[in-house]
Structure 1
Amino acid sequence: MNETKHVHIVTFIKDKIKKGEWTIGSRLPSQRQLALLFEVNRSTIVTALEELTAEGLIQGKTGVATVVINNTWTLLEGNVPSTWNKNIKLGGHQASSVLVQEINEAESDPRLIQLSKGELAPDLFPLQQMKEVLHRVSDQLTSFGYEEPKGNRQLREAVSVHLKKRGINASPSSILIVSGALQALHLISVGLLQQGSTVYVEKPSYVYSLAVFQSAGVQLKGLPIDREGLSLEALQKVPFRPGHSVLYTNPTYHNPTSSLMSLSRRKTLRAVCEEKQLPMIEDDVYRDLWLDEPPPPALKARDTTGSMLYLGSFSKSLSAGLRIGWVVGPDAVIDRLADLKMQSDYGSSSLSQYAATEWLTSGLYEEHLTTIREALIYRRTLFVQALETYLAPYATWTVPTGGFFIWIQLHQAIDARSLFSQAKEAGLLLNPGSIYAEPSGSYIRLSYAYASHSELQEGIRRLALIIKTAIEK
């Protein structure tokens, strides 16, 4: 054991406790996480933890997390100080599942092959163009104060033109600029939905990996999907309660399955929702990422009753860090959501809104999309080749026509937590189907958008070995 490293670990943990960053009741990182953090073997970590346990600062049991039980002041005074720890579970907003939290944390680990990330690879980010755009918009800065409640006027006008090219007629007054589609869902859930109401959603669906609806006291009910999207037969059988039911759908390159709703089904879905007076949220953040041919028009493009809210974003197609998205809906609804947004953050970043306006009005965004499509088509080809080479004996899949993801169906179910852990041990990060409410253990969502070309192939090779070993046990 390296004595210097052992002392360093003890000092680090004591310092965290002393500063109040790890308060009484806080869970320490796992031994594996600490070993990775300090680049030592587990025996060094165990020795350090044993010393801290002997000093009465921490306590751990086999199979149970190690927690802080004292700090230096409580050891001296025998008093238990008041901390925020007891309030962690008292807030109204539910926490993400443990597995989702672990995935979110691991997505920043450069040592892992990232087959989970739903964003463009760093080499696909238009860095030089973004620098030029930011330089140009810096000349437009005046007082650099708060924007209008609905967002920068010029950006809303640019989004209006952008949407019109895609068949959606939306006046600037009916557009709210948000910090991505997730913020839009949060505003809708707390501002427009009654507690106890029901959101019907595709199952599986990305929203199951979030707690945004459930935290607002709204329940999710899943409806099955196929390669053309939401099952209309299942939708017809649902006993909707007018005023208490909403449909959330992601019809274009659905996350996680990448399914694309056909034109005929879109027409029928609109008719069913109008007949049942069922309001709809259309999440269309992947629309611009078509690869083979443009998708059918958005559901919102044929909305004549104002019953649909439409979500769009630059997070997938341009930059996740720009944090610019939009909601389209009736003016009165947008006014309500804008008021809530002002109460939340007083508006999205002005600089990001100026930059987004420049991307749209200069033509750079459409040029960028052409480049991105070519890159994603090549990546998809590499990825499918790797799947056919390594994974074909163990799984099936459908080649997506757009978006980032391939939905893998295993021939034999494997425990989701076990598969995730084994993959992570092998230096690979993936998303088990369980986080999208697919509990069978037979599905995995993989992304070909982020990892490097060589990592895409190596990642599938490693995954195939893990699955083969699990099946043969």
Structure 2
Amino acid sequence: MDCFGTRAVVATALHTDIIDFGKGQPSLSLLPLAAWRAATDHCLAQGDAGLLQYGADEGDAGFRESLAQFLSRRYAMPVTAAELVVSAGASQALDLVCTRFTRPGDTIFVEAPTYFLALDIFRDHGLQVVGIPIDEDGIRVDALQDALVHHRAAFLYTVPSFQNPSGTTMSAARREQLMAVSRSHDLLIIADEVYQLLDFGSAPPPPLAAYVHTARVLSIGSFSKICAPGLRLGWLHGAPALLNTITQSGLVQSGGGLNPFVSGAMRSLIDLGLADTVLDGLRRVYAERSAVLCRAMRELLPAVTFVEPTGGYFVWAQLPAAQSAAELLPFARTGGVAFHPGTRFSSGGFGRHVRLSFAYYDAPELVEGVLRLAQVPFPSTRQTA
């Protein structure tokens, strides 16, 4: 019997050296080259040489105005340019937050599990990470309150909608509870909201950006997930007082506004209506790919449990009892398939979990990847956490 307790399956004729479900990025076919060419041509036709200058600390004013209008429409709530500061992607925004709001040795809270590369950024800054468990409604506020008894945290890092890796979306009630804790403990909330707009037809609750004037919240957004990663363009959304802390950093003061030229082209993409077209196309494709992956898993991996996502990039799946995802991975690679084991997303636990991304591959490759998983022999019966 194979590692998943499934019946024998027959491999397809699709030949790919390795299908890596760990790739949390869009496939090349989804990158909007033609739309970006049109936007860049439109931007350059304006004759604004200022886009080739260092630029304002907050970012190009025209772009921030267009971004505010875009977010107001997509978030279904008012957003102003004064609430936005441009970043070179979400990762750089998070690094700036760590630089300006923490010192080495500080404690921060994260969800358990959480985005594994964010953990790397926190380690780079010498931060002590305390995990707060989540459930089907998002971060457990009762566990957060218990942690606050024992720790003074510089901030809480959360991915509220279509969480990486679990796909969980924080409920509206849980968001209100979290904001109440933020106010009562003066706790800074760093909301990584890069998946907020990637729903598959049913919008999540309003982003935590909705609370920037009533609690200490900094929301991080990025065009990496809703347009193209190579743009390296994102934003911080917050009250002006918090944003001022960001723009007073040595990095911004030395280099000026972040990514001014790409900001100008993105302004054209928004103003021409192409940003909406690109985003809606991605939502449609990801919904289709998610459905294909989940259908194949239900059919070929019946012993694996998961909740079908309603947005984002990922399926968070649990292997049968007594199986270790980390031990399985090298055998899976030999069989031509890879994934991220759950242990990457926390300092402990989740040994039976795997994160599978459906963003990178078309339907035939997704099905082939599941077929390959279903044929992987399991190396051990040692019980895992």
Q: TM-score, with normalisation over the residues of structure 2? A: 0.87
In structure 1, the partner of 2:111 is 202
In structure 2, the partner of 1:352 is 262
Letter in 1 for 2:263: Q
Q: What secondary structure, in the 3-state scheme, does the structure 2 residue paired with 1:309 have?
A: strand
In structure 2, the partner of 1:411 is 320
Q: Aligned to 1:113, which of 16, 19, 36?
A: 19
**Shift in CA distance, 436/344, structure 1 to aligned 2, threshold 3 Å:** farther
In structure 2, the partner of 1:152 is 60
C-alpha separation between the residues in 2 aligned to 1:209 and 1:353?
Answer: 24
Q: Contact 1:242/1:277 (CA < 8 Å) preserved in 2? A: no
Q: Contact 1:409/1:443 (CA < 8 Å) preserved in 2? A: yes
Letter in 1 for 2:291: T
Q: Aligned to 2:283, which of 373, 377, 393?
A: 373
Unaligned runs of 5+ in 1: 1-109
Letter in 1 for 2:38: E
Q: In the TM superposition, what are the counterparts of 1:87-126 in structure 2 within 5 Å?
A: 111-126=17-32
Cα deviation, 1:101-122, whole Å, max 9, x if unaligned, reads xxxxxxxxx8431311112222
Whether 1:386 and 2:265 are equivalent positions in the alignment is no
Letter in 2 for 1:150: E
Q: In the TM superposition, what are the counterparts of 1:315-326 in structure 2 within 5 Å?
A: 315-326=224-235
Letter in 2 for 1:377: A
Deviation of 1:358 after TM superposition, in Å, equals: 1.4
Q: In the TM superposition, what are the counterparts of 1:206-217 in structure 2 within 5 Å?
A: 206-207=115-116, 210-217=119-126
In structure 2, the partner of 1:136 is 42
Deviation of 1:264 after TM superposition, in Å, equals: 1.2
In structure 1, the partner of 2:13 is none
Q: Contact 1:198/1:221 (CA < 8 Å) preserved in 2? A: yes
Deviation of 1:164 after TM superposition, in Å, equals: 2.3
C-alpha separation between the residues in 1 aligned to 2:151 and 2:365?
Answer: 49
Deviation of 1:284 after TM superposition, in Å, equals: 0.5
C-alpha separation between the residues in 2 aligned to 1:310 and 1:170?
Answer: 12
Deviation of 1:315 after TM superposition, in Å, equals: 0.5
Q: Contact 2:100/2:245 (CA < 8 Å) preserved in 1? A: yes
In structure 2, the partner of 1:461 is 371
Whether 1:427 and 2:339 are equivalent positions in the alignment is no
C-alpha separation between the residues in 1 aligned to 2:252 and 2:17?
Answer: 39
Q: Contact 1:121/1:451 (CA < 8 Å) preserved in 2? A: yes
CA RMSD for the aligned pairs? 2.3
281-290 vs 411-420, which moves further: 411-420
Q: In the TM superposition, what are the counterparts of 1:44-55 in structure 2 within 5 Å?
A: none
279-288 vs 344-353, which moves further: 344-353
Q: What secondary structure, in the 3-state scheme, does the structure 1 residue paired with 2:111 have?
A: strand
Deviation of 1:387 after TM superposition, in Å, equals: 0.3
Deviation of 1:276 after TM superposition, in Å, equals: 1.9
Cα deviation, 1:151-182, whole Å, max 9, x if unaligned, reads 11111111222222314544323311111111
C-alpha separation between the residues in 1 aligned to 2:58 and 2:150?
Answer: 31
Deviation of 1:245 after TM superposition, in Å, equals: 3.3
Deviation of 1:325 after TM superposition, in Å, equals: 0.4
Identity of aligned residues (%): 31
Letter in 2 for 1:262: S
C-alpha separation between the residues in 2 aligned to 1:274 and 1:129?
Answer: 43
Aligned residues: 362
In structure 2, the partner of 1:49 is none
Q: What secondary structure, in the 3-state scheme, does the structure 1 residue paired with 2:287 have?
A: helix
**Shift in CA distance, 231/244, structure 1 to aligned 2, threshold 3 Å:** closer
Deviation of 1:413 after TM superposition, in Å, equals: 4.2
Q: What secondary structure, in the 3-state scheme, does the structure 2 residue paired with 1:247 have?
A: strand
Unaligned runs of 5+ in 2: 1-15
In structure 2, the partner of 1:470 is 379
In structure 1, the partner of 2:146 is 237
Cα deviation, 1:36-94, whole Å, max 9, x if unaligned, reads xxxxxxxxxxxxxxxxxxxxxxxxxxxxxxxxxxxxxxxxxxxxxxxxxxxxxxxxxxx
Q: TM-score, with normalisation over the residues of structure 1? A: 0.72
C-alpha separation between the residues in 2 aligned to 1:318 and 1:151?
Answer: 19
Q: What secondary structure, in the 3-state scheme, does the structure 2 residue paired with 1:278 have?
A: coil
Whether 1:173 and 2:72 are equivalent positions in the alignment is no
Letter in 2 for 1:434: T
Q: What secondary structure, in the 3-state scheme, does the structure 2 residue paired with 1:312 have?
A: strand
In structure 2, the partner of 1:444 is 354
Q: Aligned to 2:135, which of 219, 226, 244?
A: 226
Cα deviation, 1:383-433, whole Å, max 9, x if unaligned, reads 11110121113x100000000100010113444443222222222231111
Q: Contact 1:209/1:435 (CA < 8 Å) preserved in 2? A: no
Deviation of 1:460 after TM superposition, in Å, equals: 0.8
In structure 2, the partner of 1:186 is 95
Letter in 2 for 1:350: P
Deviation of 1:335 after TM superposition, in Å, equals: 2.5
